[in-house]
Amino acid sequence: MCRRNRGLELAISDATLKELPEFYGIFTSARSLSVAGCEALQSVPNSIENLRGLASLSVAGCHALQSVPESIGSLTGLTSLRFTGCELLHSVPESIGNLTDLTSLSFNGCESLHSVPESIGNLIGLTSLSFEECQALQSVPESIGNLSKITSLDVKGCRALLSVPESIGNLAALTSLDFRECHALLSVPESIAKLTGLTSLDISWCHAPESVPESIGQLTGLTRLDFNWCEALESVPESIGQLAGLTSLDFRGCMALRSVPESVGQLTGLTSLSLDGCEALQSVPETIFQLTGLTYLVFSGIPCFQWVQGAPERPRVDRPAHRPHKA
C-alpha cells in the first residue's frame, strides 16, 4: 500500500512488493518516506535521488534488501536515516558521507552488514548512531572520531566486532556507550578516558576482555558501570575508586575475576553492587562495608561467601537471579 499525506509523507507497505515505484512527479514533494514490511523488496531505485526534499527515510523489515544505491547520497536534506531489520543488507555506499545534515543514523538488526564506509566521518552533525544487532560487523572506521556531536553510540549485539578505534576518544559529547553482547571484542581502548561526559558504560556479555584500562578512573561522570558476564575478566584497576558518581556497579557472572580493589570502598554513592557468580573471587575487601548506601548487594556463588556473612554490620545480601540465557 502506498499513501500520500498532505503531499509530504509517503508510506509504502506491501509484503509481496519486489520493486519500489520510480520516484517522479508527485512523489518528489515528499518530506518523509517510510518503507515497512516489504519483505520481498530486493532493491531501491536510483530515482530515489529525485526526492531532494526528504528529511526522513525509514526502511524497516525489508528482509530481502541487500544494498542501497549510491544515489542515496543526493538526499542532502535528510536529518534521519534508519534501516531496521533489513537482515540481508550487507553494505552501505560511500555516498552516505554526503548526507551532512543527518542527526540520527541507525542500522539496527541489519545482521549481514559487514562494514561501514570511512565517509561516515563526514557526518559531523550526527548526535545518535546505532549499529545494534549488526552481527557481521567486524570493525568501525577510524573516521568515527570526527563525530564530535554524538551523544549516544550503540554497538550492542555486534557479535563479530573485534575492536573499536582509539579515535572513539574524540567523541567528547558522548553520554551513553553500549558494547553489550560484543562477544568477540578483545579490549576496551585506552582513549575511552577522554569521554568525561559519559554517564553510562555497558560492557556486559563481552566474553574476551581480560582487563579494564586504568584510564577508566577518569570517567568521573559515570553513574552506571556494567561488566556482567564478562567471563574472561580477571582484574579491575584501583582507579575505579575515582568514579565517585557511580550508583550501580555490576560484575555478575565474571567467572575469572580474582579480586576487587580496596578502592571500591570509596564509591560511597553506590546503591547497587553485584558479585554474583564470580567463581574465582577469593576475597572481598573489607572496605566494601563502608558503602552504607547500598540497598542491593549480591555475593552468592563465590568461595568467600561465608566470610562475608560473618562481617559486622553488613548490608542486605539479596538472592541472585538465575543466569539468563544468551545465544
Note the pLDDT of residue 7.
53
Spatial contact of 24 and 35, defined as CB atoms under 8 Å apart:
no
Spatial contact of 180 and 202, defined as CB atoms under 8 Å apart:
yes
* Max CA pair span of the chain: 78
> Does residue 213 come out as left (phi exceeding 0), alpha (psi in the -120 to 50 range) or beta?
beta
Residues of the chain predicted below pLDDT 50: 1-5, 305-322, 325, 327
- Report the alpha-carbon distance of residue 81 to residue 110 in Å, rounded: 14
DSSP class of residue 306?
H
Residues 6+ apart with CB under 8 A from 314: 289, 297, 308
Note the pLDDT of residue 248.
96
Note the pLDDT of residue 304.
52
Note the pLDDT of residue 214.
93
DSSP class of residue 326?
-
Note the pLDDT of residue 243.
97
- Report the alpha-carbon distance of residue 170 to residue 191 in Å, rounded: 8
Domains of the chain: 2-309 (3.80.10.10)
| pTM summary value | 0.86
Spatial contact of 296 and 271, defined as CB atoms under 8 Å apart:
yes
Three-state SS at 43: strand
